[in-house]
A = this chain, B = another copy of it.
Amino acid sequence: MAKTYKVEGMTCGGCASSVEQAIKTAAAQASVDVQLEGGLVTVDGVDDDDLIRQAVEDAGFTYAGTA
C-alpha cells in the first residue's frame, strides 16, 4: 500500500529527481511519486518509514513524517 511522506527542501525538478533516486537506490522495488509543490512524496512497495527517512536525509532533504 502506498504511503505519503512530507519532505522539506525540494525546490526544483532536480531536487524531486534526487529524492526519487535516493529512495529507489535504498529500495529498488519502490515506486516513487513526488509532488514538488506540496512537498509530498508517495512511495509504494516499501513498508519501512525509517528506510525512507534515511534515504531522504542522506540526499540532503528534511524528512517531516507521514502526510
Chain A residues engaging chain B, CB cutoff 8 angstroms: 9-15, 17-22, 25, 57-61
Contacts and interface: CB of A to CB of B under 8 A. Distances in A.
A30 B53 CA distance: 22
Which of A11, A14, A61 counts the most chain B CB atoms within 10 A? A14
Tell me how many chains of this kind the complex includes.
2
Given A22-B59, A25-B58, A58-B22, A12 B12 contact: yes
Given A14-B14, A17-B9, A60 B60 contact: no
Which of A10, A17, A59, A61 counts the most chain B CB atoms within 10 A? A59
Given A12-B15, A18-B61, 6 more contacts: A9-B14, A10-B14, A11-B12, A11-B14, A18-B18, A22-B58
